[in-house]
């Protein structure tokens, strides 16, 4: 397991190699108490898709495309049109980001 300093060094490396990518944090909320400070530790860092839909954040390409296709299915399109439009929607609205996953610890 990497130390927190090693994770920070890795984030710096990824950021230098991908200067156009935003750095995004995904914070596990288990163990967070209201009106208290909480310590978070980094447990994973990766370059992945980043797509926000309402209050939901998705970082898995397959899940994002599935959600997009489900939404397009409701519009009554045929399967081929759904796939084409979902791919276009994905290319237009999903960014690649340096995702930092933390857990309260």
What tens-digit pLDDT sequence spans the chain (105 residues)? 899 999 999 999 999 999 999 999 998 766 666 767 778 899 999 999 999 988 889 999 999 999 999 989 877 888 899 999 999 999 999 999 999 999 876
The total number of structural domains that make up the chain: 1
> Which pLDDT score, from 0 to 100, does residue 90 have?
97
Write the DSSP string, 7-62. Answer: HHHHHHHHHHH-TTSEEEEEEE-TT--TTS---EEEEEEEEEEEEEETTEEE--HH
Structural domain of 17: 4-104
- DSSP secondary-structure letter at 74? T
The Cα 70–Cα 99 span in angstroms is 25
pTM here is: 0.82
């Amino acid at each position: 397991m990497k130390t927190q300093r090693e994770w920070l060094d890795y984030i710096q490396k990824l950021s230098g190699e991908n200067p156009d990518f935003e750095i995004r944090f995904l914070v596990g909320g288990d163990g967070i108490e209201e009106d208290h400070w909480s310590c978070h530790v980094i447990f994973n860092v990766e370059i992945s898709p980043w797509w926000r839909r309402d209050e939901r954040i998705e970082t898995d390409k397959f899940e994002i495309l599935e959600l997009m296709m489900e939404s397009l299915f409701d519009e009554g399109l045929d399967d081929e049109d759904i796939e084409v439009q979902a791919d276009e929607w994905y290319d237009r609205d999903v960014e690649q980001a340096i995702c930092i996953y933390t857990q309260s610890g």
